[in-house]
Structure 1
Amino acid sequence: MTRAAAAGTVNPDTQSRSANRERRMYDTPEPGSESKAVHRRDLLRWLAASPLLTAFAGCDLGLVERAMAQEAPARSLDDLVQSAEQALDVFDLERVAAQTVPTAHWGYIKTGVDGEGTQANNRASLERIYIRARRLVDVSNLDMRVSIFGREWPTPLMIAPAGSQGAFHRDGELATARAAAARNHLQTLSSVSSTGVEAVNEARGEPVWYQLYAPRHWNATVALVNRVREAGCPVIVLTVDLLGGSNRLTLERYRRIDDRNCESCHRSGGRADPVKPMYEGLPQGPPDSGGPTMTWDYVHRLRDITDQRIVVKGLVTREDAELALEHGVDGIWVSNHGGRAEGSGRATIDALPEIAETVAGEVPIIVDGGFRRGTDIFKGLARGATAVAIGRPYLWGLGAFGQAGVERVLEILIEELRITMGAVGTPSLADIGPHSIGVD
């Protein structure tokens, strides 16, 4: 089994599940049959509840109950939603994606590193934080606007970079970009995107931010940065938390149980994996990672070749935040790669306060890692983030229903944030701070 990050043939079991779901979604009842069934159920319910029923000799309540059971098919709270609009929270979409995304590709989404303690702690630490609700505050005009690099966005929710989205839905990053455009969210594109930046920008309707996995060879970096700058991307997000590699055991286990033949998608011209679109045509061929030799000097070298903003992604300590400011970065992205980078066990929400204290508003701070609800976004803002980025949740939406699924994830999270802000007496983001939360 080769890398699971590119799209492949579909597991027959997955095809069967998908086909059954599609039949349920699209089978059309005969005209009038649905309304007749509703009328029969209403009559049976009325009979069961009516005191007049006892006036009829020999009437059997059990017969009525059995008739009602036959009229309505059994339903379970675990039933999968049949459309994006039916999802009540992002976890509804996770359950659907687990059935629709090919096995090894699902392992790529799920995986952390080692025993996945870091990934688990991202969630556990968020859940230990409680919100301190204030009362009798006018929340009739909620304001979720945020300004980043002089650009105002309607909400603080961002789309984090995630690679190889064509593995989860045929439209991949284009579906995500169209959803970001429809809901007006800031989007960052991965270096290992299934689609080139030019097409993604067209789908988004404006240039996205670009995440840079720095090539080992500097001339390849220059070529890549030049391409992205010419495409109009205003920000380079230099990702620095994978320089030593990562031990993704869950991904490997899912690869082993995937019974598809992936050769057609994972081999191209004799290569183990096809070249990603953003790496095509680079000097010295497809690049390796920047590797463990990268230092803070790399930021200065980037500054010398581009006038784009530079955000460093993957910082989790006060010391590195101080160095980032010293080296003139434009923004800091607090991240442990969703628990996929290192097995430190430290949650990003716990790293955030010391970085916010160090930065003291000098540059914007973005955070990701385990954010699944509007209350989580609130907690990230309370601990000092300018914006909160999501990764896995929108991939669940993408894998479940494509663009509509991504849009639904964004809609759910913002509606949950709106409800939270109103319920706890914080009419604007400026009203959210350390005083808004506590820790058990």
Structure 2
Amino acid sequence: MVTSSVAPDDPAAHRGISRRTQSDIYRAGISGTKPAVPIDPVALKAAARKALSAEAFAYIAGGAGSERTMTANRRAFDRWQVWPRPLRDVSTRDLGVEFLGRMRPTPLLLAPLGVMEMAHAEADLAVGRAAASLGVPYTLSNQASFPMEEVADAAPHGSRLFQLYWSASDDLNRSLLARAEESGCEAIVITLDTHLLGWRTRDLDLAYLPFTRGMGIAQYTSDPAFQQLVRERAAAPKGDAPGVRVTPRAVAAALMIARKGAPLTGGASLRDNLRSPLPRAAVETFLDVFSTPALTGEELAKAREWTSLPIILKGIVHPDDAQAALDAGMDGIWISNHGGRQIDRSVPTLDVLPEIAERVAGRVPIVFDSGVRGGADAVIALALGATVVALGRPYAYGLGIAGEVGVREVMRNVLAEIDITLGLAGLTSASQLDRDALRKV
């Protein structure tokens, strides 16, 4: 953990983080204390597999199809090497970058990950607190396990963005954006690449989708527009619906849905929730309105009417789509293929980052994700044109292993490696990173 006399969102807070991190770890080791989570990314994933249920690990770690996009994302980094440059004074280094009109202490961002209750009971609350402690902005998922207002209360000084999955209901979209603004989010991240749910083989093999159990829909069940949709559905005449065979697992799913339905029933007892049609109607309503395959740029224009916050489009991989976002006056571009979770054999994001960065030409910030596992990866992405780099699965693994402490340690380790890599490349600030710091293999 970083120990400093300055605030975590002050750029000075992370000067010398690599030296402090290594010193803290080695000093603790004298008394036999080891890090709460493995530092090596491969070992981190292996430990998470042991800590999580089979369903949770499959959902977090899995990708689309044969998971060749996940492999391609990682192999893209292997095509670049960092040039070591000694004989330079790098005794003082600054990780700070400008993002969304503010100086940030680091170039790291937490990507939106849904259903984190699968990893830890405190889910988004733990992630929000950990991110705030290091001054790292947290992109809160539309599929969070806690309402955005509760995350804001848990980490009142944290920097947050809100990720919106564009719903089939305009009333719901409008309401979610208003809540994000009111709860102190700094920007809206509209995810574009889940208008159809990817062919996720691990989840299909287990016949498991957490949303059908009422998990990951807290932003919805706490929303007045969604609650109205649920009431209308519950009051509508019922047609013939396929039955669910009564098994112990089916009963457990019904109990979970009933518990998650408390916001819809005014906090009624579990028995009353089991009898109420609202919790089940909430799951069915969510599955109906979650996304729309009819989403176009014209639809997105409505978001400008519904919020005054900056809007970042997430899921950009083609340079022409980046140009379209610029033409539409969007405030940022997030290069992502959803970590390989949507399309098998997708274009790896790092391969298109330089071309998109050239097209954007510094007019708006570029967020980059997919395939980032450590600090050296982040350095490569920053050198190729990213403004900030978003971390995904690794922090979910940390959450599953050790809760809030695990998330904090994962971020700390990534930041320390960024700092070390920057210095060994002969640079003293993240803003100095460009193609000259790299060699293509």
Q: 1:221 to 1:425 in 2, by over 3 A?
A: same
**Alignment match, 2:128:** 177
Q: TM-score, normalization: structure 1? A: 0.76
**Alignment match, 2:84:** 133
Runs ≥4 residues deviating over 6 A: 275-282
CA distance in 2, matches of 1:379, 1:229: 33
Which of 139, 147, 156 in structure 2 is aligned with 1:188?
Answer: 139
Q: Does 1:240 align with 2:192?
A: yes
The amino acid of 1:326's aligned partner reads: D
Q: Does 1:267 align with 2:219?
A: no
C-alpha offsets along residues 11-56 of structure 1, whole Å, 9 cap, x if unaligned?
xxxxxxxxxxxxxxxxxxxxxxxxxxx9xxxxxxxxxxxxxxxxxx
Q: 1:291 to 1:190 in 2, by over 3 A?
A: same
CA contact 2:196–2:293 (8 Å) conserved in 1: yes
Q: Does 1:329 align with 2:330?
A: yes
CA contact 1:89–1:409 (8 Å) conserved in 2: no
Q: Does 1:208 align with 2:209?
A: no
Which of 105, 109, 112 in structure 2 is aligned with 1:158?
Answer: 109
Post-superposition offset of 1:110: 1.4
What secondary structure, in the 3-state scheme, does the structure 1 residue paired with 2:188 have?
Answer: strand
CA distance in 2, matches of 1:215, 1:268: 27
Post-superposition offset of 1:252: 2.4
CA distance in 2, matches of 1:87, 1:318: 37
CA contact 2:167–2:291 (8 Å) conserved in 1: yes
CA distance in 1, matches of 2:171, 2:425: 52
**Alignment match, 1:89:** 40
**Alignment match, 2:402:** 401
What secondary structure, in the 3-state scheme, does the structure 1 residue paired with 2:289 have?
Answer: coil
The amino acid of 1:218's aligned partner reads: D
CA distance in 1, matches of 2:197, 2:189: 18
Post-superposition offset of 1:288: 1.8
C-alpha offsets along residues 245-264 of structure 1, whole Å, 9 cap, x if unaligned?
210002223458xxx95546
C-alpha offsets along residues 379-400 of structure 1, whole Å, 9 cap, x if unaligned?
0001100000011000000000
The amino acid of 1:252's aligned partner reads: L
What secondary structure, in the 3-state scheme, does the structure 2 residue paired with 1:385 have?
Answer: coil
CA contact 1:367–1:387 (8 Å) conserved in 2: yes
CA contact 1:130–1:439 (8 Å) conserved in 2: yes
What secondary structure, in the 3-state scheme, does the structure 2 residue paired with 1:314 have?
Answer: strand
What secondary structure, in the 3-state scheme, does the structure 2 residue paired with 1:362 have?
Answer: coil
Which of 218, 235, 243 in structure 1 is aligned with 2:170?
Answer: 218
Equivalent residues in 2 for 1:321-360 (5 A)?
Answer: 321-360=322-361
The structure with more radius of gyration: 1
CA contact 2:99–2:365 (8 Å) conserved in 1: yes
Structure 1 unmatched ranges of 5 or more: 1-37, 39-80
CA contact 2:38–2:47 (8 Å) conserved in 1: no
Q: Does 1:439 align with 2:440?
A: yes
**Alignment match, 2:56:** 105
Post-superposition offset of 1:85: 3.8
**Alignment match, 1:310:** 311
The amino acid of 2:408's aligned partner reads: E
Q: 1:129 to 1:88 in 2, by over 3 A?
A: same
Q: 1:264 to 1:335 in 2, by over 3 A?
A: farther
CA distance in 1, matches of 2:248, 2:418: 43
Larger mean CA deviation between 242-251 and 309-318 belongs to 242-251
CA distance in 2, matches of 1:359, 1:339: 24
C-alpha offsets along residues 313-360 of structure 1, whole Å, 9 cap, x if unaligned?
000111001100000100000000000012243111112111100110
Post-superposition offset of 1:240: 0.2
CA distance in 2, matches of 1:336, 1:276: 35
CA distance in 2, matches of 1:359, 1:376: 22
Q: What fraction of aligned residue pairs are identical, expressed as a percent?
A: 34
What secondary structure, in the 3-state scheme, does the structure 2 residue paired with 1:376 have?
Answer: helix
Structure 2 unmatched ranges of 5 or more: 1-30, 209-246, 265-277
Q: TM-score, normalization: structure 2? A: 0.75
CA contact 1:126–1:376 (8 Å) conserved in 2: yes
Q: Please, what is the CA RMSD of the aligned residues?
A: 2.8
CA contact 2:378–2:389 (8 Å) conserved in 1: yes
